[in-house]
Structure 1
Amino acid sequence: MQAGRLLNVLILATFAILETCGRTTQSPCDINNGQCSDKCVPYQNYQIRYDNLPSGYYCACPRGKALFRGTLCLPRNHPCFNYRYCMSNEKCVPTGSRDGYGYRCDCKKGYIPRENGRGCRPAPVRRTTPAQTTVVGGQRRTLRTRITPAPVFTNLTTPAPTAAPHPCDVNNGDCEHRCRRTSSTTRVCECRLGYRLLGDGLSCEEVDPCENNGGCSDVCIANWPNRTCSCRIGYKLGSDQKTCIDVDECWEGTARCEQDCINEQGSYRCACQRGYSLKQGNRCEDIDECRINNGGCSDSCYNTPGSYKCHCPPGFYLLSDGKNCEQKWKCSRYGCEHNCQHPIIQFEPYCTCNTGYMLTQDQKHCTDMDECRLGFHKCSHSCQNTVGGYQCSCPAGMKLAADQRTCECKVYTS
């Protein structure tokens, strides 16, 4: 009686331990990451919901990937997400090669590989009789016998006509990938996406997506079985996603120029406005014109952003050339008939005449210059002096050309 009680106590204690272990608070993701290839996420409050959910967690994938068969994260464009890569009696198995895009096609349950290694065929079905129990040598054994259907004989003299099987039903028509029926007696072999048919019309070979550069004008990036076109720096893909066109960095505002931007094929260059020079980092630095030959100023030179200015001392004014200074009071008393010039480098002013005139002996007054007599004219034939200038003339049968200096023959029309 006491032994029976002790046994009951041990049994109850065992059930208590099992019940405590069954309600563990450990997260399912703590055990081998829940078999997830990436992130394992337990359900919120999984301690309560775990009894009602078979797993108590789910697998999550990063951006750009999708969940495959519950636990494996693959790129969204992986071949295993496309039914065209494997036949209906095959299953797609990722291999991890080809930068994560590799795969192979295995036979599904109930199918075995064909003898030629191309595709799968139904596995032979073996039938057995119900188990029978017998006594052999004093021991009870269960025997199973295999049933082989008895051959059925018909009229041996006249065999029953049977329809010839379609070529696709016999060894997949010898096609490596797919066999497509074109009629009741003919077929054509086809290849899965990413492959092409060889010359024998049966075999398939893998196609390099970047063969012949994949139709890309610049760079082809293989992403088997697809490809992506890319461009070098300074270019971008056009609307056809194949051709590379120049990027106008100046127009798009991506250029880093301080002042002017000049676009070039595949690049750009920076330039500076007048009065600035281009420095390292495409910076524009002001040029100090006054440091070189005083900027050409006869007196003082003052640098300004992108330019400079000449200044004159008191009693002088800046001439129209913007560089030379003239003394106001000396020229006003010097008595020049036409123009008075007084650079600072010269102590005394001097007079000048307008075009077509020349100074007289007093170096102050001006008189008409006889260009014809002095030989300062450009007439091809006759020259006639005028006040402040001269006129050209031509002999009979000729006329002045458009330059009013050269003579040319007249053209007579009847």
Structure 2
Amino acid sequence: MDVLRFVWLVLLAELRISAGQVLGCRHGQWQCDDGNCIPHVWRCDGDGDCLDGSDEMDCAAAAAPGSPQCPPGQFACVDSVGCVDASARCDGQYQCPTGSDEENCTAANGCLGSDWTCLNHVCIPKEQRCNGLTDCVDDSDEKDCGVCVEGSVRCPDGTCLSPEEMCDGKVHCSDGSDEPITCGRICSMNNGGCSHVCVDEPWGALCACPAGYKLSANGAICEDVDECATPFPPCMHLCTNTIGSYYCHCREGFRLNGNSSCLATGNVTRLLTVQRRSVGLLNVKSQQFEVVQTLAFDPVALAFDAVRGRFFWADSRGSIYKSDGRQSWTTYTGQL
């Protein structure tokens, strides 16, 4: 169960406890056997959302194989029981038990000329093809990415050019990497124009960069890589970028363990909790409350993502927020 669903369920439970009674579910909701309410679209979606698991019981009657009885925005699995989100249809991942959500998928024609089409029809920039990272959900962008022969270069779309196609006056790669400014140069003269490593090739000077740098678009200058700005930063808590590298540091009350992990100092157990309009850490031994975040409205539910070091809370207006302890973001705004 993801964090947002957890926050939703805790929020509903808190409202029922505060009301002192079990209320009927609103329009668009489904009532669990234990009295809690969940969005109706979560019924028979393959993920247990009721604390008693009742939302995944008797699903054969709720959605017969291939029937149109799935909630709006969902796809009815064929020859099996259950519904999946319509967005999961033809995304390259089998989510129906029989894989019917990936059958009879037609190729998408919406990719731009600067995009590369994944096998699951997702569009990604050509520059992300064969970059060592899985950008397509099905990993098709990293398949058939063998090492190019010596003296050649790989284009963003994964194509390997021959040495003869390098610096021939024609742009073959979408990023122009086959026509760098170092064409016709030699490393013995001004390092071939390279800012760092230079290797002589038949077509000219091939520039290379040390770890922590990437080659600029002109093929000569090495630029710093901001490791802290990547989608998944290398540090558990805080990350500071440096020229050619980075370093990790931890929040107060933690110490760095190795290069990136943070461990709590001492043996004091602290609980993440709320008091009035504040989220903070409660020292179990001393009962001292340390404020981490001051909130604008009364929180009614709280959850913590231990992997990413972020906590989520919902307020009495129905909005959900997240924070890393330094800044916060609104992830959902709506009515209960």
TM range (shorter): under 0.3
Q: Under a length normalisation based on structure 1, what TM-score does the superposition of the two structures give?
A: 0.20
Higher relative contact order (CA 8 A, sep 6+): 2
Give the structure-2-normalised TM-score. 0.23
Q: Which structure's CA Rg is the greater one?
A: 1
